[in-house]
C-alpha cells in the first residue's frame, strides 16, 4: 500500500501502521536488508507476503465450507486456535518479552486496560467481519473496503497527523471519491461493511499508536482479550460444541481453519521483517484483488452500474502503486 510522506514530527508516519501492521523488527532483521544477500532475503520476503495474501484469500473462501457454523462460530474457533499458535511463535522468535512489558504498564496504569479493551474490540470487529462477509453476501463489499483502506489511511495521515499529500495521492483520493459518489448515486448509500473496513482500521491504528501498543505484544494482547468472547460465541451457538458431532467433517475442517489462519499470520509476520516497508506495502494490494476473485467464486457479481464504483477505486489503487514504485526506485538509486 502506498507510502505517505514523512511526518512533520519525529514520529514514524502512519503508513507504517498499514504496511507492517505494527510488527517490530529487530536490529538484526533490519540489517538483513543491507547485507550483500539482500536480494535473496527480499525474494524470500516477497514469496512470504504473497503466500500470506493467498492464505488469507483461502480462509475467506474456507468459511463457506464450515456449514452449519455461522460467522460468530467461525470467528470464535479462529481466535481459540490462533492465539495459542501465535504465543508459540512469539516464544520462538523472542517477541514474547513484549507481553510482560505491557502487563507491567497496565500494573502502573490500570486505566490503560480500558483503552486496550477498546483496541481489542476494534480489532475483533475487523476479524469477525472478514469471516462473516463470505457467508452473508458481502464479500465484494468487504474487498472494496480493503481497496479503499490505503486511501482512508492517506486521509487519516493528512487529517490527524498533518502529513502532506503528494500530487499522486491527491489524484488517487479524487478517483476514489468519484467511485464512492457513484455508489451513493446508484444505491443511495455505501455498504456498512465497506465503511467498517475502510474506516475502522485507521481508527484502530491511530489508537494503538496513541497508547504505545503498536507492536506484536500489543497485537497479542488485543487478540487474547477476545478469547472470552470467542469461547462464548462457540459455546452459546445454536448447537454449541455439539455441532461438531452433527457434522463429523468439522473435526478436520475446524483445525484446518486454525492452521490456515496461523500459517497466514506467520507468513505475514516474517514477510514484514524481510521486506523494505515500501515494497511490503505494495504487496499488500495482492490480498484485496484475491478477495474479489473469491467473492466472484462464491457467486457474487458486480452489477453494470457498480463498475463505475470499482473502476475509479481500482485506478486510485494503481496510482498509489505507481507512486510506491517510484519511491522504491528513488530509494534504490540513493543507496
Q: Which of 56-65, 75-84, 243-252, 290-299 comes out lowest in average pLDDT?
A: 243-252
Whether 278 is covered by a domain: the verdict is yes
Q: Is the pLDDT of residue 1 over 80?
A: no
At residue 4 the predicted structure's pLDDT band, cuts being 50, 70 and 90, is very low
Whether 55 is covered by a domain: the verdict is yes
Whether 90 is covered by a domain: the verdict is yes
Whether 7 is covered by a domain: the verdict is no
Q: Is the pLDDT of residue 15 over 50?
A: no
Whether 1 is covered by a domain: the verdict is no
* CA–CA gap between residue 13 and residue 16 (Å, rounded): 6
Task: Answer for the pair 76, 231: CB distance below 8 angstroms, yes or no.
Answer: yes
3-state secondary structure of 193: helix
Q: pLDDT tens across 128-144, in order? A: 999 999 999 999 999 99
Q: Which of 76-80, 109-113, 321-325 comes out lowest in average pLDDT?
A: 321-325
Q: Is the pLDDT of residue 198 over 80?
A: yes
Whether 103 is covered by a domain: the verdict is yes
When pLDDT is averaged across residues 114-121 and rounded to a whole number, the result is 97
Burial 283-294 (b: 16+ CB within 10 A, else e): bbbbbbebbbeb
Rg (CA), the chain: 20
Q: Residue 309: which of 177, 194, 198, 196 has the closest Cα? A: 177
At residue 118 the predicted structure's pLDDT band, cuts being 50, 70 and 90, is very high
Q: Residue 286: which of 61, 132, 64, 56 has the closest Cα? A: 56
Q: Residue 226: which of 147, 123, 134, 130 has the closest Cα? A: 123
Give the per-residue pLDDT at 26. Answer: 46
Cα dihedral 37→40→45→51 (10° resolution):
-160
The count of domains in the chain is: 1
Q: Is the pLDDT of residue 49 over 50?
A: yes
* CA–CA gap between residue 212 and residue 206 (Å, rounded): 10
pTM equals 0.82
Whether 2 is covered by a domain: the verdict is no
Q: Is the pLDDT of residue 9 over 80?
A: no
Name the residue range of residue 50's domain: 15-334
* CA–CA gap between residue 290 and residue 139 (Å, rounded): 11
Q: Is the pLDDT of residue 228 over 90?
A: yes
CB count within 10 Å of CB 49 equals 24
Amino acid at each position: 500500500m502506498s507510502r505517505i510522506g514523512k511526518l512533520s514530527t519525529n514520529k514514524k508516519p502512519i503508513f507504517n501502521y498499514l504496511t507492517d501492521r505494527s510488527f517490530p523488527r529487530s536490529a538484526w532483521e533490519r540489517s538483513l536488508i543491507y547485507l550483500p544477500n539482500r536480494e535473496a532475503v527480499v525474494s524470500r520476503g516477497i514469496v512470504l507476503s504473497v503466500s500470506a495474501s493467498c492464505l488469507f484469500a483461502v480462509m475467506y473462501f474456507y468459511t463457506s465450507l464450515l456449514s452449519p457454523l455461522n460467522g460468530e462460530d467461525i470467528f470464535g474457533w479462529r481466535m481459540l486456535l490462533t492465539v495459542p499458535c501465535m504465543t508459540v511463535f512469539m516464544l520462538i522468535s523472542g517477541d514474547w518479552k513484549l507481553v510482560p512489558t505491557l502487563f507491567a504498564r497496565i500494573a502502573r496504569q490500570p486505566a490503560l486496560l480500558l483503552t486496550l479493551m477498546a483496541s481489542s474490540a476494534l480489532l475483533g470487529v475487523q476479524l469477525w467481519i472478514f469471516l462473516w462477509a463470505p457467508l452473508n453476501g458481502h464479500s465484494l463489499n468487504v474487498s472494496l473496503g480493503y481497496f479503499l483502506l490505503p486511501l482512508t489511511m492517506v486521509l487519516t495521515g493528512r487529517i490527524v497527523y498533518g502529513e502532506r499529500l503528494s500530487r499522486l495521492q491527491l489524484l488517487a483520493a479524487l478517483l476514489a471519491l468519484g467511485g464512492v459518489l457513484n455508489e451513493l448515486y446508484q444505491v443511495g448509500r455505501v455498504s456498512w461493511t465497506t465503511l467498517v473496513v475502510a474506516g475502522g482500521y485507521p481508527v484502530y491504528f491511530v489508537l494503538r499508536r496513541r497508547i504505545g501498543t503498536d507492536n506484536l505484544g500489543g497485537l497479542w494482547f488485543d487478540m487474547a482479550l477476545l478469547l472470552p468472547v470467542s469461547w462464548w460465541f462457540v459455546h452459546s451457538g445454536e448447537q454449541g460444541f455439539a455441532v461438531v458431532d452433527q457434522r463429523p467433517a468439522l473435526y478436520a475442517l475446524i483445525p484446518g481453519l486454525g492452521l490456515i489462519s496461523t500459517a497466514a499470520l506467520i507468513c505475514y509476520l516474517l514477510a514484514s521483517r524481510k521486506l523494505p516497508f515500501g515494497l511490503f506495502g505494495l504487496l499488500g494490494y495482492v490480498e484485496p484483488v484475491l478477495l474479489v476473485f473469491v467473492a466472484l467464486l462464491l457467486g457474487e457479481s458486480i452489477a453494470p452500474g457498480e463498475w463505475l464504483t470499482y473502476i475509479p477505486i481500482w485506478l486510485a489503487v494503481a496510482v498509489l502503486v505507481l507512486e510506491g514504485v517510484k519511491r522504491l526506485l528513488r530509494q534504490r538509486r540513493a543507496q
